[in-house]
Each structure stands twice: as structure tokens, then as C-alpha cells.
Amino acid sequence: MPKRVLTTESGAPVADNQHSATAGVGGPLLLQDQHLLEKLARFNRERIPERVVHARGSGAYGYFEVTDDVTGFTHADFLAEVGKRTEVFLRFSTVADNLGGADAVRDPRGFAVKFYTEEGNYDLVGNNTPVFFIKDPLKFPDFIHSQKRDPFTGRQEPDNVWDFWAHAPEATHQVTWLMGDRGIPASYRHMNGYGSHTYQWTNAQGEAFFVKYHFKTNQGIRSLSSEQAAEIAGKDPNSHQTDLLQAIERGVNPSWTLHVQIMPAADAANYRFNPFDLTKVWPHGDYPLQRVGRLVLDRNPDNVFAEVEQAAFSPNNFVPGIGPSPDKMLQGRLFAYADAHRYRLGVNHTQLAVNAPKATTADNYGRDGLMATNAYGRERKNYEPNSYDGPAETGRPLSAPLAVTGHTGTHEAPAHTKDDDFFQAGELYRLMSDEEKSRLVANIAGGLSQVSREDVVEKNLAHFHAADADYGKRVEEAVRALRED
């Protein structure tokens, strides 16, 4: 077989890839050395802006297989029959740290799934927790700023972290999750994934349902203590990436069973708390888990940059039979995620291999921009409607319409009979064993005791007291003991 020839980016053969061109032996470099200039210029541009959140990630390909009939609730084609398989790409991530951070840290984990369906790509963008810290996207940039590096000290500051939470009582539920035993997964394989938000399903008859997604790990839940995590992060910052890569390479393919909770749309208005509040879960006694299918990861990416860093997920990528709910955080993310990718990757990021549809073809009138590969000319018009057999609308909405009423304004969410920022945090605490409670209290006290302002400490303690009397008492005593040392 003939040896492959190294070329420049324009395809010309490279004569010498070991020595730069100079003006005589030992002389200065020549501006005419196109190969040298091209290599240095490309090297300077190898990095793209990292994600502001979910920067550090890992991913893998696999498939989703339907195991149970859900056609009474959605007419989504990829869920249409038992046994049907759809290719997927799943990206895991940590939320707060930078691209160079460690995997084994106390932080929520992203759990983003791209389904390459025959009706287009469906992106389900969630976390490994069923709830989140806030319920309104207007607070999201402030929340993330409080958790990221301080602009003066250049590090994450307990003062900032706990000061924001002191002013966000709705965060108490998620803080209890984060500081509990599941706050540091042992690996990406050993954690659950959740859609977290409430979504809408619509069946063939036009009936609407609200749903929550639960991906239950089939490997079992395994987590790390703070001490174990610190040791692992110091030895191998890439621990989760290494585990996922090696497991799939040796054929130990991780899997999750997808369940959904299903609420008839008519139930939402009079449910005892706002079902679209991202800081709350739906009790399983009210809406039991119903099995849907199995997600399996069986192939590693060939190139982490091309397929993990350039993977772009957006919750507004719906398919027929699935749509949004009035969840305010979801509504904000419908814009923010796609906009982030246009900034990081360019307006044509959907043409990259990892983001392009696989089971169908994107056919629209989007044209031009940086790195456009769909530069159709004579044979296709770039406007619609037209008389040249271009793609046309179907007239069939992807999901049922959402009812709206009232006046525009900056409204609080509608009050339900039992809306409360603390009850579910207390319920979660009361479900824990004594050992789990002790570790939770120690984790909270370890951070809160470092806060410099006493009023911020008091505000946070009030949240734990409101969740559960014992919870608040134990946290307060542990914080006081550490602050007196």
C-alpha cells in the first residue's frame, strides 16, 4: 500500500515537516513558508470558548429501545412501537467547574440525551437530580456567578455560594440533594438521570399530558464521600471520563431504564403545588413511574473535541408528540441553550456530524454564515413559499397548544394550595437514615461555617429549620461547633 502523503490544508504535498524555511543556513525564518504559518495559525485557534456551565464533559453513543407501549400518551414516532431502536448520543458533565476541573467533585451532573429520530433530533437536557436551585430563569446568571470563580480571588468562595442560597429559599430542596450522599457520584454509570423539567406529551387524538422523565441506572447507585472524592480527584482528575471510556471499551455497556410520570393536563391547574416548579418533585404516590424503555451506551467517540465538546443540545429541539410546558426555567432554556451554541460553535453548528440528524435530513431555507456546507444554488431557492417544489410546512403542530390568560407583567407563579419552598426538602431529609443525615449535616456545615458574614449564616440556618426542626437544629449545632474552633 502506498504511503499516505502529508498535505497542507489546501491539499498541496508537504516537502519537509521537520524544518522551517530560513534565509540561508541559520538565518531568520521566511514569511513565504506557508506550511509553517498555516500550522501556527491553526494551533492558535484550536480552542473554542468553553461552555459557561457544563464545561467539563464526557459522552458516548448508543441506542434507546422501547420496551413498553406509551402510544396512549404520545404520538412521537421513536416511541411508537415496542422493540423500536433509536440511535442516541449522551453527554455527561459537571456544572460549575471549568473545562480543566476534576470529575469527582460535589456538583450536579448534566445528563443530556440526543435522540436521532426519523422525525428529527430530539434533545432531552437534564441533570442527575430531579430538581434545581431556582425556578425562574431571570435568576440563572446570578446563581451561576455565585457558584463560579470570584472575580477578585479567582476561586469559588463559600461567601458567594451561601449568600446566594441565603436569598433563594427555594434552593433548600436542591441543596439537600447536593449535600447528601448522592452529591458526588462514583461514576457517570452509577447515577440516575432526570429530565428535571416538566414536558408535554400529546397523543394521536390530541390529548395532552404533562410528563417527567426518570432514567434509572441499571448499574446501581454508587457515590463517594467528600474524603474519597478529594483523594480520587487528586490522583486522577479524569476519573469519570476514564471509567466511562474503559467500561465501554471492554464491552461493559452501561444502561438506564427510562420511566415517566404522567399527569393529565387537566390536573395541573388544581394540583396542590405548582407542577411546573423546577424546585419540586411529583410524589410517586400521586403519579407512579411508568416504564418506557432502555437506554444503552455501547460506542465511544473517536474524537472528544469533535463529538463531545462540539455536541450541542437544546431543549427546544422537539419532535411531533412532544413539546414544552409552562415551566419557567424550561421556557428560558428554550432560548438560552441554542443561543449558547450559536455563540460557541457558530450558526451552522447543526451541520456538524454529532449534531446533524442521522435518521432523516434537515431541509429548510437557512443559508450562509460561517462554515456553511448547505450552500445550495441554482437547484434550490432560499425563500418560502415558492413555485419550485421546495420544502413546505405541514400544518400539524408538534404538540398541543398551552392555554394562556391574563395580563402581561412580571408575575410570580400562580399560587397553589400547598406551594412551599421547604416542605419537600424536609421530606427528603426525613427519608434519610441516621448515617445519611449525619453526612448531610457535616457536608453543609463544612461549607457554611466558612462564610464570613453572620447574617448570611443565620439566613441559611433559617431555611433548614423551616424544612425540618431536627434538620435545622443539627446543622446549626455543627456550624457553631466549627466556627468556635
Point out the residues that are catalytic.
54, 127
Q: Taking a C-beta distance cutoff of 8 angstroms, is the pair 444, 175 a contact?
A: yes
3-state secondary structure of 240: helix
Strand partners, 296: 63, 255
Distances (CA, A) of 243 to 72, 115, 181, 450: 39, 23, 20, 33
Total residue length of the chain = 485
Distances (CA, A) of 57 to 100, 151, 431, 475: 10, 24, 31, 33
* CA atoms of 357 and 301, how far apart (whole Å): 17
3-state secondary structure of 262: strand
**Given the C-alpha cell 452501561, which residue does it identify?**
254
**Given the C-alpha cell 414544552, which residue does it identify?**
324
Q: Taking a C-beta distance cutoff of 8 angstroms, is the pair 449, 456 a contact?
A: no
- Closest among 171, 117, 123, 122 to 143, alpha carbons compared: 171
What DSSP assignment string belongs to 203-225? -TT--EEEEEEEEEESS---B--
- Helix H or strand E segment including 298: strand 290-299
- Residue 205 gets the label, from left (phi > 0), alpha (psi -120 to 50) or beta, of alpha
- Closest among 35, 50, 46 to 341, alpha carbons compared: 50
All three cell numbers of 117, joined, read 429520530
Distances (CA, A) of 445 to 148, 154, 162, 442, 480: 20, 23, 11, 5, 9
* CA atoms of 174 and 118, how far apart (whole Å): 36
Angle at 430 between CA 165 and CA 161, to 5 degrees: 15
* CA atoms of 293 and 479, how far apart (whole Å): 45
Distances (CA, A) of 483 to 401, 437, 447, 464, 478: 54, 20, 11, 18, 9
